[in-house]
Amino acid sequence: MAQITKDQIADTLESIAQMLEIKGENVFKIRAYTNAARALETYTGNIAAAAGEGRLGEIAGVGKAIAEKITELVATGQLDYFEKLKAEFPPGLFEMFELQGLGPKKIKVLWEALNVTTVPELEKACKDGRVADLPGFGKKTSDNILGAIEARTKFAGRFRLGSIAAEAERMVSELRELPDVFRATIAGSFRRRKEVVGDLDFIVATNSPAEVSEFFVKHEMVESVIAHGATKSSVRFKSGIQADLRVVKSAEYPFALNYFTGSKEHNIVMRQRALTRGWTLNEYRLAALDNARSTPPPITDEPDLYRALDLDFVEPELREDRGEFAAAEAHTLPDLIETENLRGTFHNHTTASDGRSTLAEMAEAAQELGLQYLGIADHSKSSVQAHGLETDRLLAQIAEIKVLNANYDGHFRIFTGSEVDIHKDGSLDFPDHLLEHLDYVVASIHSSFTLSEAEMTKRIIRAMENPHVTMLGHVTGRLLLSRDGYAVDVPAVIEAAAATGTMIELNANPKRLDMDWRWWPRAKEKGVACVINPDAHHTSHLQFLHFGIGIARKGWLTRTDVVNCLPLGQIEAVLSAKRARRK
């Protein structure tokens, strides 16, 4: 029996919560299950080990009852309570939760009054008028359900940051241009630079709320209007993403910005901190309660708000309730890396393998971006599908780079590298005597994705033990929203990276963003160096570095944790450090 994963356990807890909702259980009990599911999703420890050693209670949000259920799931692969609960409901019922505007109460009525238990049955019941006739429903509700069914099939509901960034930034800059708009920002998970976002939240401070809302819902990017009120409007953009607009008064802006930036977990702690001071915090104000011993200070921006709660300013990327409050209290928050700190980058392709820009074009684009160096790492020979380089072509590329470098007289440099395939057994696609000729080597997996976690981990660690392997490319191989990463013991890989002096890549391609931001604090703690690489296959992809910076910031990294912040004069020694320590 395959070991049950953390995500599967979280899904089970979510399902329990949904079933309890339909049953009309105590809302706080339901919340306890969803809280526990969320807590598991962000837990980075080994869940099976924690269960075996009775340490599940250490996870905030997991108490005695849920710990017992997780333990049973880990030990037997299933949960009696869950199976019995599931038997009370028709299986198709849960798909209905995915429909916007439909919640547990309405689902229960549809089931009990009309015996509707699947989305197709629901569609039929709406079309023949049975839903509209239900008490508490009506024609509009019926039509909205049909609209939600259509939207669900058309849009998966989750979007990579990279796919919607242009649309989001266009909207916010146009909002800023409107008369009477004082401030406008994209809040939400976009501002926190999550790798995948579900919707966009725009916050606007204005004295003309009606005009701003009107502009928003009538914008040419808007496909349909979901809601249009005095202070809140929701639309769906043509790309499929839902976008919400909140219009507030200037004085309310810092509170709205903070509230709608989240995360939900971060907000809960903020509110609680206000409450312990006798104040109440919401999206409009920080105000004294009746029993307050003092009045809150005036707040004009977000840093004021944090200061009022005795905290250093917490950058949006860190607002995930993963330790930022303790650090903000102790004045130990990191000085996060910024895009301007980058001096070069390493994992880039050219037309020699599967890139679409030439070596010269890539070098020119890097200089235009203000970078001092660019590493070229085309695929190795085994990556036939990517036109990987044979030995001769690699040596020719090295010679070509030498010629280009001679023309830069020291102010810019191209480093010679290769993205070498890691074979199934952990050996590399090029022999050491060839790798020796390169300034650096990126080792990556592009085949045999289905090895067991133990085999995959062993394979990667063996590759890192090669003294020529400077950095490990895309650690899990995940493709966001389309392919899960291969099974790999990330903490063991981090340990091995520290032991061998191998850097770990933060692949900044918005489809990857791998290694995941949740692991970087651990890598940093172990002393593993991060290298942010765009995995560029075109000159325009160098812009991906910006997404990588967002993830590095979410991972608490500073400029000193990221090697490609080093200037040209210092980077060479770092690239050769691992080889040097073997000699």
Partner DNA sequence: GCCGTTTTCGGCCCGACTGTTTTCAGTCG
Which residues in this chain contact DNA in the complex, by CB under 7 A? Answer: 26, 28-29, 31-33, 35-36, 57, 60-67, 99-107, 132, 135-142, 144, 188, 199, 201, 227-232, 242, 244, 260, 264, 267-268, 271, 276, 280, 282-284, 291
Smaller CB separation from DNA, 199 or 514: 199
* Smallest separation, CB 142 to DNA (Å): 7
Helix (H, G, I), strand (E, B) or coil at 373: strand
* Smallest separation, CB 213 to DNA (Å): 8
Smaller CB separation from DNA, 105 or 483: 105
Smaller CB separation from DNA, 144 or 339: 144
Quote the CA–CA distance of 527 and 566 in Å, as a whole number.
16
Closest CA to 127 of 146, 153, 103, 152: 146
Smaller CB separation from DNA, 141 or 163: 141
Residue bearing tokens 């650096």 = 440
Q: Which residues of 480-503 are buried (b: 16+ CB within 10 A; e: fewer)?
A: beeeebbbbbbbebbbbbbebbbb
Distant-in-sequence, close-in-space partners of 332: CB < 8 Å, separation ≥ 6: none
Smaller CB separation from DNA, 36 or 286: 36
Closest CA to 358 of 552, 126, 538, 145: 538
Smaller CB separation from DNA, 52 or 431: 52
Q: How far is C-alpha 486 from the chain's CA centre?
A: 18
Give me the amino acid identity at 575.
L
* Smallest separation, CB 290 to DNA (Å): 11
* Smallest separation, CB 71 to DNA (Å): 11
* Smallest separation, CB 139 to DNA (Å): 5
* Smallest separation, CB 260 to DNA (Å): 7
* Smallest separation, CB 165 to DNA (Å): 19
Quote the CA–CA distance of 138 and 129 in Å, as a whole number.
9
CB 61 within 8 A of CB 39: yes
User: DSSP letters of 187-246?
Assistant: -HHHHTT-SEESEEEEEEEES-HHHHHHHHHT-TTEEEEEEE-SSEEEEEETTS-EEEEE
Smaller CB separation from DNA, 284 or 408: 284
* Smallest separation, CB 29 to DNA (Å): 4
Smaller CB separation from DNA, 291 or 450: 291
Smaller CB separation from DNA, 185 or 242: 242
* Smallest separation, CB 387 to DNA (Å): 44
Secondary-structure breakdown of the chain: helix, strand, coil percentages, each rounded to the nearest 5: 50, 15, 35
* Smallest separation, CB 108 to DNA (Å): 8
Quote the CA–CA distance of 444 and 419 in Å, as a whole number.
7
Report CA-CA distances (Å) from 247 to 237, 305, 372, 582: 18, 20, 43, 61
Closest CA to 264 of 189, 157, 336: 189
Burial class (CB in 10 A: 0-12, 13-18, 19+), 87: exposed
Smaller CB separation from DNA, 132 or 404: 132
Q: How far is C-alpha 10 from the chain's CA centre?
A: 18
CB 99 within 8 A of CB 119: yes
